[in-house]
Structure 1
């Protein structure tokens, strides 16, 4: 059958139009209303599209297959909004209103202990329940101001309330200079610290009788979708002054008893040097947020682990090194469980990543979380160093 030229042109236009539609990228920036400060790690979600997080500068990038769409933006400390987006050609600016924290008068007892105990009791009952999905891990390290290390990995994952326990990398890129600390196997800490329950690697304030290991103080409450959220300050008792332990804040829904977020410090982190090098941990910050999956289970949304260490080299002085690690559960798509490997201290992440064939086209199209200018600059510097070292 012969086709008229006009039919071919019309068909070509239809295909081109669909392709352009499928490749639309929406970029934007989320800021705090009035102050204009960036809102980092806000959730950005459109219907029928994979969501993303804003980066440290409040920026995001989202792939869309159609317009107009309703775009939802939420953050635990801000009022969530939904906005209609009809055009993806310009950078979208979104303003969020901070939530107001109030402190109610307490006449009897310490309500923080009861809130944490009820949350702990619920979490412990579900500690063996697994959530399978696809995750993204980004780790960038700096020696002073110079980037020295990058790991970016898409992976299939199994997560439980005490941490990510099994993984299988599917796409990865690794860049490293010849200088600085070795960060091999540091992904282990990003994985095992991501839960709201403790495990063998560290202590958290949710196990057994909660006030036996921690003291609690109610810092205040606010409302989210008609339910009360309590902000509780958790301080380790003297018995926990040794070993790795969490110290900071838990955000708990007092209606569902779900932990929504934790933010604070991992104390007692110890790194060992070798020969003329000694390493002391200055500070390790942990922030993790949780959400409900399709089954209604309270699972990981994202986790940040940022570590500053002071390295002393005999004859060369002292300098600080910084590692920034972000773990994001992209979706809850079922993983091939037969390929998952146990997460352990000998995870050998560097060699596993190097064994994966680098797919440049994939990484140009998939950033995981939009990189900041600093992160993009670090990658470009490390790419040049890696080419020189080959």
Structure 2
């Protein structure tokens, strides 16, 4: 009996000391927030990424713990923490080396080719993780609609292959003109990778299309382990084509991709309004290779820009989405995942799951920027999430 008592006492003691850590990461010199910083608990699979405001949340942390802060443009920082108080973390910018950029004009192409070949070795390997997705629509700078979903994901180095929605909520303001992007999650999932081989639409960087792009090393970021080359790939074809420019952050020694920024132009999207100019989308994807053979998706931010004319007025909707894989878990592979499909509507998925306000209340993963926080609080005050739409 005494053994059982000690066993349960040990479990209770462990749970009792689990903490929620919140903090902010800023530039050491300017004090400006740093988005997309990877923060991981050393020795565990627990990690997160800072949002646009440099803020982060980590849950279920047993103190004391050692945290690792990494960003391709800043020096790696590891620090021990013994308190759950809000952390204010300063990162030192890595040195930038421009001296060797113009020596070899083909250096950039070789770096990208080596990185894509390295990534292609793992294209059939699947990874599994828990993720949080938020999509915020603004019109002329004013928040109008928000989706939030928790997913279990199946993904690889190319994209998210399958998903299971676990929790969801949606709210919308009906004041003035509204606009809805019905399946931007599909676009986010589709772009959530670093290998774009075999794409049937548009002009992407791939092993077969390198000659279609002007490839230049912009700079080298001097990290302790290795230099990281920042390589831009700009499409050389017709500007009326549906094409994507890329900027790769590639390890010079290991040929691994740690960050990928893209700008896609002339997307073939259909909207129920007159488009004044072709839509375009920008993405920032970060990849973490701390516990995997190849850096895998950690986060992807997608921003879709539209310029429309409707009801005799011009509007400029911007749809921001952020997908964060906050925990890798290979045990999720036994589930039946819904395959990636552009015909699936986000709102239909949201409404298929009963809204659970207790789940969302004070959820440590749900961390907002100031604009998102203000809109969510307004919607919660009107019970808009419970009714699915603000009718006040």
TM-score normalised by L of structure 2: 0.87
Q: Distance in 2 between matches of 1:208 and 1:282?
A: 26
Give the structure 1 partner of residue 162 of structure 2: 166
Give the structure 1 partner of residue 56 of structure 2: 60
- Highest CA radius of gyration, 1 or 2? 1
What secondary structure is seen at the aligned counterpart in 2 of 1:238?
A: coil
Q: Is the 8 A contact 1:28 1:92 kept in 2?
A: yes
Give the structure 2 partner of residue 102 of structure 1: 97
Give the structure 2 partner of residue 358 of structure 1: 355
Give the structure 2 partner of residue 378 of structure 1: 375
Q: Distance in 2 between matches of 1:34 and 1:65?
A: 29
Give the structure 2 partner of residue 342 of structure 1: 339
What secondary structure is seen at the aligned counterpart in 1 of 2:95?
A: coil
Q: Is the 8 A contact 2:214 2:235 kept in 1?
A: yes
What secondary structure is seen at the aligned counterpart in 1 of 2:244?
A: strand
Give the structure 2 partner of residue 223 of structure 1: 222
Q: Distance in 1 between matches of 2:237 and 2:66?
A: 50
What is the CA distance between 1:230 and its match in structure 2? 0.8
Q: Is the 8 A contact 1:230 1:251 kept in 2?
A: yes
1:258 alignment partner, one of 256, 259, 267: 256
Give the structure 2 partner of residue 271 of structure 1: 269
What is the CA distance between 1:216 and its match in structure 2? 0.5
Q: Distance in 2 between matches of 1:368 and 1:339?
A: 24
What is the CA distance between 1:171 and its match in structure 2? 1.4
What is the CA distance between 1:20 and its match in structure 2? 4.6
Compare 364-373 and 151-160 and name the one that shifted more.
364-373
Q: Distance in 1 between matches of 2:31 and 2:77?
A: 16
Give the structure 2 partner of residue 389 of structure 1: 391
2:185 alignment partner, one of 169, 184, 187: 187
What is the CA distance between 1:224 and its match in structure 2? 2.6
Give the structure 1 partner of residue 147 of structure 2: 151
Q: Distance in 2 between matches of 1:16 and 1:163?
A: 40
Superposition pairs for residues 20-35 of structure 1, below 5 Å?
A: 20-22=16-18, 24-35=19-30
What is the CA distance between 1:283 and its match in structure 2? 4.3
What secondary structure is seen at the aligned counterpart in 1 of 2:189?
A: helix
What secondary structure is seen at the aligned counterpart in 1 of 2:298?
A: strand
CA separation of 1:219/1:109 partners in 2, compared to 1, >3 Å: closer, same or farther? closer
Q: Distance in 2 between matches of 1:25 and 1:194?
A: 28
The superposition leaves residues 241-296 of structure 1 with CA deviations (integer Å, 9 ceiling, x where unpaired) of 4443221311111222111111131112243333x654645542111111226341
- RMSD (Å), alpha carbons: 2.8
Q: Is the 8 A contact 2:26 2:33 kept in 1?
A: yes
CA separation of 1:19/1:292 partners in 2, compared to 1, >3 Å: closer, same or farther? closer
Give the structure 2 partner of residue 40 of structure 1: 35
Q: Distance in 2 between matches of 1:318 and 1:352?
A: 31
Name stretches of at least 5 consecutive residues in structure 2 with no aligned partner. Answer: 2-8
Name stretches of at least 5 consecutive residues in structure 1 with no aligned partner. Answer: 2-12
CA separation of 1:377/1:112 partners in 2, compared to 1, >3 Å: closer, same or farther? same
What is the CA distance between 1:227 and its match in structure 2? 1.6
Q: Is the 8 A contact 2:136 2:319 kept in 1?
A: yes
Q: Distance in 2 between matches of 1:110 and 1:14?
A: 60
Q: Distance in 2 between matches of 1:221 and 1:15?
A: 48
Q: Distance in 1 between matches of 2:307 and 2:283?
A: 18
Superposition pairs for residues 293-332 of structure 1, below 5 Å?
A: 294-315=291-312, 317-332=313-328
Q: Distance in 2 between matches of 1:135 and 1:232?
A: 29
The superposition leaves residues 47-105 of structure 1 with CA deviations (integer Å, 9 ceiling, x where unpaired) of 447222212111222224432222221111111111221222x3221110011111233
Q: Is the 8 A contact 2:265 2:278 kept in 1?
A: no
The superposition leaves residues 100-159 of structure 1 with CA deviations (integer Å, 9 ceiling, x where unpaired) of 111233545421111111112222333222222222211111122332211111111121
What secondary structure is seen at the aligned counterpart in 1 of 2:319?
A: strand
Give the structure 2 partner of residue 6 of structure 1: none
What is the CA distance between 1:365 and its match in structure 2? 4.1
Q: Distance in 1 between matches of 2:118 and 2:13?
A: 51
Q: Distance in 2 between matches of 1:243 and 1:165?
A: 27
CA separation of 1:17/1:132 partners in 2, compared to 1, >3 Å: closer, same or farther? closer
Compare 132-141 and 332-341 and name the one that shifted more.
332-341
Q: Distance in 2 between matches of 1:363 and 1:273?
A: 32
CA separation of 1:137/1:243 partners in 2, compared to 1, >3 Å: closer, same or farther? farther
What is the CA distance between 1:34 and its match in structure 2? 1.4
